[in-house]
Every structure is written in structure tokens, then in C-alpha cells.
Structure 1
Amino acid sequence: MQYYQVDTPDVGLVVRADDRTYDLGTSDTPVESFRELANASRLSGTGLTEITERLTSSAEELPATGIEDDLVRPLSPDEVWAAGVTYEISEAAREEESDRPDVYMDVYNSDRPELFFKATASRTVGPGEQVGIRSDSTWDVPEPELGIVLYRGETVGYTIGNDMSSRSIEGENPLFLPQAKVYDRCCSLGPGITPVDAVPDPHDLTMNMTITRDGESLYDDGTSTAKMHRTCEELVSYFTRHNAVPELAVLMTGTSLVPEDDFTLREGDTVTISIDSLGELVNEVTVV
């Protein structure tokens, strides 16, 4: 089961389950967004899957194909946060870009994870939209990540995230991290949201990323979330500690797919990220 938002007039939240697609905006109790669905689930004490099954009994069924071209960001998060140095290769890549490698080694070995604010909804794009690279940066990469969707601090689903990053700015000084990470179009989410009960083990998912330029493949590699140095539960625990978390948030869990040091994104490149059970997120690159 997956939830989608489409750029189609008079269509609400779309759910695809058992090869059938429904518009939950046409059910007896119309639901227009994932936020509304999560709130209804919480207020009723009913799981997302159970409440969705009730809604689909009265919802209009949509054609099995055709929504892919109309997909937009599956949710409008109040905040997006991200974790860093959660994979060994990520820690190694950070060391190579900085002349202060001990900073990243300390984080990798620390009990406390690195968590940082990433984006607001206005800085976030969805499938088919353009992700950004800063015009004042000389070394830019995508970072494919498993995204945890949280409603009032509770994990309700998963999505794919692209944590766009300026390695040249962060490499100049780790304290420049906010500018390397937070800017217009710095984050992509999608294509949909998969509820927690449809993902048996978030720490055993295959992840792939490809980067193409003018039809030529420049990068193609894969990994598994089994290689994460941290657990999703651990990251969520630190995110919610002493923190007035927003109603709807996404916490991205770090990356282990990093292009070679001599690679940087250019305008017009296409980044494709896929994760088992979550689908495929495709974005073109633009300069902001």
C-alpha cells in the first residue's frame, strides 16, 4: 500500500493497494491529504491500513495506470530533518572533503547521532520537479536516503529523500553545514508514502541511485539500509528528545551512496533514486 498526491483537479489523496487505485477524496469521509489521514488515524486510534480499507469501500476507483505523470510531493512537511555520518562510507566521504576529519570520526563513534534541520515545505520538491544546486558552490552531490515520516513524533510511514548537498561549502568549514544543506530546492521527497506495516524491516531495504547527463550514465550504484550504523528508532528517539517536534515531519536517515570526489552535479542532470517497497524518485537538477 502506498499513498500519493497528484496534480489533478478534484482528486484528493490517492492510495494504491493490491494493484487497485482509489481517490480517498471521494470516500464517504473525504480525505484530501496525508496529514488529514494521519490525524484521523491518531484521533480514532486506528492504524493507517485499517482506516484506509474503510475509506476505499466507498471511494472512487481510478484507472490502474496514468497517475505516474501527475505525481507531486506526497506530503507538505512542517519540517524536514536529516542525519549525518550514519554509514561508514558517509563518514569516509566527509573526511575526504574536510581538513578536519576527526570531527566526522567523532560523530560516527559517538552515542549521539548528528541530526540537523534540513528544510521547510517551501524548500522541498516532489517527483518530476527540479532539485537545486547553489550557484556559489563548486562541488555538489545528491544524497539518496530513507525518509521516516512522523506524525506528532510517531513513525507512520517511509518515503524516499534526496538530501542535496554542497560538499565544497561544508568542506571549507563544518560550521558552514546549514548553508551547505539548507537552500531553495535543497530536498526532494517521494514518490509516495508507504505505511510502517507495509515495510517489515526498514533496515533491510535495497537502495539504488543513478545520475545521467545528456543520456549518458555517470553514476550507478546500490547499497542496503542494513549497512546503517544507526537504527531508525535511535534516530527518531534523538529527534524527539527535548524538542517540540512539528505535527508532520520527515527525518532522513543518511546516505552511503556517494559519487567519486571528481564528480559534481551540473544543471540538466537527472537523479534517480529507488528503494525497495518505496518506489522511484526522479528529479532534474537546476542552479538556484
Structure 2
Amino acid sequence: MRYYRTERNGDARLLVVARDRAHDLTAVKPRLRSFRDLAAAADVADSSVDALAAALLDDAPVVEFSVVDLEVPVRAEEVWAAGVTYEISEQAREEESGMADVYLDVYDAERPEIFFKATPSRTVGPREAVGVRGDSDWNVPEPELGLVLYDGETVGYTVGNDVSSRAIEGENPLYLPQAKVYDRCCALGPCVVGAGGVDDPHDLGISMRIERDGETVFDDATSTAEMARTCEELAAYWRAHNAVPEMGVLLTGTSLVPEGEFTLQPGDSVRIDIEGIGELVNPVVEV
């Protein structure tokens, strides 16, 4: 099942797409206005989000919705991310940095790189603009599978864009927070797919297309099968010795990196598609 959050005239609704139709769960249970509300209710009922939603389907009215109504599908208190989990990401970090060994060491190490990415105020949803830093001349989108976690357990999956400054991180790895955490640095959407709706998160096609002035300037695809670590491993390291938030998102690593010194520009459009989840589309602005 796919879960969407819509808002029109201040009225937030939680929709679920099932049986090839969209159903309004909020109309049945007014307290279910977000995926977090559904995850919390499922936790109390010792159920899954999909099982709880399925029990409400017969009473939930069928509705129409537009992409312009879509909001961030899950309001995560914290968004974190894993780094150097794909070989292409390790190669890109080596390319940009004068201290390439640190990235190679992480790629081969037992402990993954886990870093803080965004707060709710820094996270945008479908069709909202992501930001590139005005003090950086080398900025890239990073398409990633996102784990949606409630009390540390994976309850769903979403599409993420970990927008980053390669120039700032490449200057010195200690500048990573400035390269990663800033206004509009993260996009999530267009929906959350319940954990039961993804047979194998390690075998999903991922594609990214970047358009500029009506032309495609980047277009490539890969698979989460190329990830060197498992989702379970990354989530376990995120939880370890850490007071995790009730609702969090963990991005699982950069699967595609534009070649050379390609940089995002204001006015670009980034399209990231993950098989079985959906397509996240965001324009680009300078912040």
C-alpha cells in the first residue's frame, strides 16, 4: 500500500492507494492525519500499518487527488543518512577529495558512516524546491532509498534526495555537516510504501533524470542490489547507543552520482524513481 499526505486549505488528510484507488483514511478515523499517526496506532494495536489500513478500507471513501496537493509523506523528527554504501559513491568521494583514503576505509570497514541530515524545517516534499548552497560551486542531487522507522523499526520505505555540496565536503571531510545540512537540503516523497509492500529492498531499480531548459542533462539507472550493506545493518547502527526519535527516516546511501564536475543549477528539475515506490520530482533553487 502507498500512503500519501495531502493538504488543501489547511486540511491535512492521510490517503492510502490500494485496490487501484485512493482511499481517505482520515474520513474514517479523524485522528489519522499522517503516516506517523498510523504507525503509532499500529504499534499500540501490535499490528502493521498495512493491516490496520486494510481494516479501514471498506469504510474509507474513494477520493481523487492531484500531485499539487501532495506534502512531505512523513514528518520525520530527524532524517539521517548513510554514506559510502555504494561503490560509485566511494569513487565519487575519492574524486572530489584530497583525502580519498578516508572514504575507502569507510567503504571497507565494519562500521558504516551514519550522519545527521535534516530536521523537518529543512525537508521538502514532492514538487517543492530543493536547495543548492550559494557558497558552493559544485552541488549534486543524491538519489537514495529511505527507511521509514517508528521507534527504530522499519515500517515503510520512501524516496529521498540527499542534496549535497561536493565542493565543501571535498575541501575537507570535517566540513561534512555544512555540505549536508542546510535549508532545503533534503526531499522525501512522493509517498511511503508500507514495509509489507516491498518484497526485497535490496533489489529495487533506481533511476535519476535531471532536466535543464527543457533538455535532459543527466539520465542513469542502477539497483539497490549494488549496495554493499543491508538495510537491517544500517538501521541497527543508527539505533545503537542512540536515543532515536519516535519517527525517523534513514537514507541508505548514494546510488547514482553525476560524472565529473556536473553541478546542479537553479531552475533544474530532478526526477528520482525507485521501483515499487514512486517518482520524486523537485525543482532547484539557490539558498
Q: How far is 1:132 from its partner?
A: 0.2
Hey, what does 2:184 align to over in structure 1? 185
Q: Does 1:259 align with 2:258?
A: yes
Q: Deviations over 1:124-175 (max 9, x none)?
A: 0000000000000010000000000000101000000000000000000000
Hey, what does 1:200 align to over in structure 2? 199
1:205 and 1:225 in contact (8 A); partners too: yes
After the TM superposition, which residues 63-142 of structure 1 pair with which residues of structure 2 at under 5 Å, given as runs? 63=64, 66-142=65-141
Please give the secondary structure, in 1, of the residue aligned with 2:8.
coil
1:28 and 1:58 in contact (8 A); partners too: no
1:4 partner amino acid = Y
What are the ranges of 5 or more consecutive residues in structure 1 without an aligned counterpart? none
Q: Give the count of matched residue pairs.
A: 286
2:125 partner amino acid = G
Q: Please, what TM-score do these two structures have when normalized by structure 1?
A: 0.97
Please give the secondary structure, in 1, of the residue aligned with 2:95.
helix
Please give the secondary structure, in 2, of the residue aligned with 1:13.
strand
CA distance in 1, matches of 2:278, 2:101: 36
1:24 and 1:30 in contact (8 A); partners too: no
1:224 partner amino acid = S
Q: How far is 1:11 from its partner?
A: 4.9
CA distance in 2, matches of 1:173, 1:181: 13
What are the ranges of 5 or more consecutive residues in structure 2 without an aligned counterpart? none
CA distance in 2, matches of 1:97, 1:29: 50
Please give the secondary structure, in 1, of the residue aligned with 2:236.
helix
Please give the secondary structure, in 2, of the residue aligned with 1:180.
helix
CA RMSD of aligned residues (A): 1.0
Q: How far is 1:18 from its partner?
A: 1.6
Please give the secondary structure, in 1, of the residue aligned with 2:90.
helix
Hey, what does 1:60 align to over in structure 2? 61
2:148 partner amino acid = V
2:82 and 2:253 in contact (8 A); partners too: yes
Q: Does 1:31 align with 2:32?
A: yes
CA distance in 1, matches of 2:19, 2:95: 46
2:140 and 2:163 in contact (8 A); partners too: yes
In the TM superposition, structure 1's runs of 4+ consecutive aligned residues that sit over 6 Å from their partners are none
Q: Does 1:163 align with 2:127?
A: no
Q: Which moved more, 1:12-21 or 1:267-276?
A: 12-21
CA distance in 2, matches of 1:68, 1:98: 39
1:6 partner amino acid = T
1:164 partner amino acid = V
Hey, what does 1:12 align to over in structure 2? 13
1:86 and 1:254 in contact (8 A); partners too: yes
1:256 partner amino acid = S
Q: How far is 1:7 from its partner?
A: 2.2
Hey, what does 1:22 align to over in structure 2? 23
2:46 partner amino acid = G
Q: How far is 1:260 from its partner?
A: 1.2
2:126 and 2:282 in contact (8 A); partners too: yes
CA distance in 2, matches of 1:159, 1:132: 20
How many percent identity over aligned positions?
59
